[in-house]
Structure 1
Amino acid sequence: MKTATGSRVDKGEAILAAALIVFGRDGFTDGTVDEIARNAGVAKPTVYNRFGDKQALFTAAVKHGSQQANDRVLEVIASLDLTPTDLRKELERLGRALVDCVSHAHGAALMRLQFAERTRFPELLDGIRDSNRARTIDALAGKLAQLSTSGYLRLRDAPRAARQFMSLVTDDALSASGFGGRTLAESELDQPVKDGVDTFLAAFGPRESDLGSR
């Protein structure tokens, strides 16, 4: 029983992962169950037995992939050092890790689907986007607020600062990669993050007098 259960879970995970990549690359219409089954290493009937039809598979794959992607982002945010010896370097590390999350194969596939399939699945994709963004901003705002309380930052509105930080460190890299369509060189990933952190600290960083009193 244990082995059989483990096998079912493994096949289901493989199908969902393959579906997200195929749909992210080819779209809902052109992404085929044959291709998904081949990439997952299962027979085509297995896909239908597990998920019923193509639309149900798409929905399950997007929900599952979004949950995993958001969990990765939240894990990165949770790792932010609240007593950094070098705030700029710590924010650059955080920014680069966030870029890696959204440019991950599954994150990139989800981003492409948000653009390509939103008119077909507006409730599904808008709901997931809004929910994940709210969780991300809430988690990051909490961390930034703690840094502000400790004198590392100057914030009046932590959620607003969190939204701006996310945009500053991820938008340029995402745009340059065609939202996951092109693999960027390390320098192409690093520089936008550094520039974003510079802009963020210019707006929210501590004054020289604050640094002396901390």
Structure 2
Amino acid sequence: MTGATAARGRIDKRQAILNVAFTVFARRGYDKACVQEIADEAGVAKPTVYNHLNDKETLFRHAVLAAADAVAAENLDIVERLRDPGDDLSAALTDVAYRLLEVCVGERARDLRRLTYAQLASLPDLSATVLERTSHGIAEALADRLARLALAGRLRPCDPTVAAEQLLALLTGPLERRSQLGARAVPATELRAVAQAAVHTFLAAYGS
């Protein structure tokens, strides 16, 4: 039991370091952030950071991937709401769409995009991994939910992968066009309008 408790404590401390590291990297950028500042904000000694993560690049990679996993988990929880959409499919899809947009324009997702884009030249594999864990994972989960809705007769028979890609494009396209994925804040009314328009267009094509 003591060993298990110690292992759990080590995992928790590592996660706490990664959370703080992501905050510091987001605030200062990769080049200006320093391990000592991360250690100070995490409340640990600098050698402790290195004991968990060997160097600054490793720390950055793991901090970014931990943030990507957190964003993905939020989105997967939202998509899971479509397992039981209730009688009003349009309302359920609109609610899911709106919540996905909230995550997309949220601070953590914005910082994640900014950090990975800034290091694209030096760490191109990291950007690809983040994309795989976030966008691709969400598309796969959404495709699964849409496939089940089609089988239940709630949507027309379709290629669920294509349908999921199109719904996500309807959501993110308007914000990308207005360069608001990197904005500090997007009004909830605007997010709701984008979600409603996307679902209206989607159901015009795929509604049963």
TM-score per shorter chain, which class? 0.7 to 0.9
Matched letter for residue 107 of structure 2: A
After superposition, the C-alpha distances for 1:95-151 in whole angstroms (9 at most, x for unaligned) are 122123333433222222232221111012213313543322221111111212222
- In structure 2, the CA distance between the partners of 1:188 and 1:34, relative to structure 1 (3 Å rule), is farther
Alignment partners' CA distance in 1, 2:173 and 2:34 = 31
2:46 corresponds to which residue?
Answer: 44
2:124 corresponds to which residue?
Answer: 122
Higher alpha-carbon deviation: 139-148 or 25-34: 25-34
State the TM-score, normalized to the length of structure 2: 0.85
1:107 corresponds to which residue?
Answer: 109
1:77 corresponds to which residue?
Answer: 79
After superposition, the C-alpha distances for 1:164-203 in whole angstroms (9 at most, x for unaligned) are 1112223434666743540223213222111211221222
Alignment partners' CA distance in 2, 1:178 and 1:31 = 26
1:153 corresponds to which residue?
Answer: 155
Match for 1:63 among 62, 65, 87? 65
Corresponding pairs, count:
206
Task: Map residues 1-214 of structure 1 onto 2, 5 A cutoff.
Answer: 1=2, 4-173=6-175, 178-206=180-208
RMSD, matched Cα = 2.4
1:160 to partner: Cα distance: 0.8
Matched letter for residue 28 of structure 1: Y
Matched letter for residue 168 of structure 2: M
Higher alpha-carbon deviation: 187-196 or 102-111: 102-111
Matched letter for residue 105 of structure 1: E
Matched letter for residue 60 of structure 1: H
Gaps of 5+ in 1: 207-214
State the TM-score, normalized to the length of structure 1: 0.83
- In structure 2, the CA distance between the partners of 1:86 and 1:28, relative to structure 1 (3 Å rule), is same
Alignment partners' CA distance in 2, 1:125 and 1:175 = 21
1:83 to partner: Cα distance: 5.0
Alignment partners' CA distance in 1, 2:143 and 2:17 = 35
Matched letter for residue 34 of structure 2: T
User: Percent identity at matched positions?
Assistant: 35
Higher alpha-carbon deviation: 70-79 or 35-44: 35-44
After superposition, the C-alpha distances for 1:144-165 in whole angstroms (9 at most, x for unaligned) are 1121222222242210110111
After superposition, the C-alpha distances for 1:37-94 in whole angstroms (9 at most, x for unaligned) are 2332323332222212100101111222222222222222122144531111100111
Residue 103 of structure 1 contacts residue 179 of structure 1 at CA under 8 Å; is this kept in 2? Answer: yes
Gaps of 5+ in 2: none
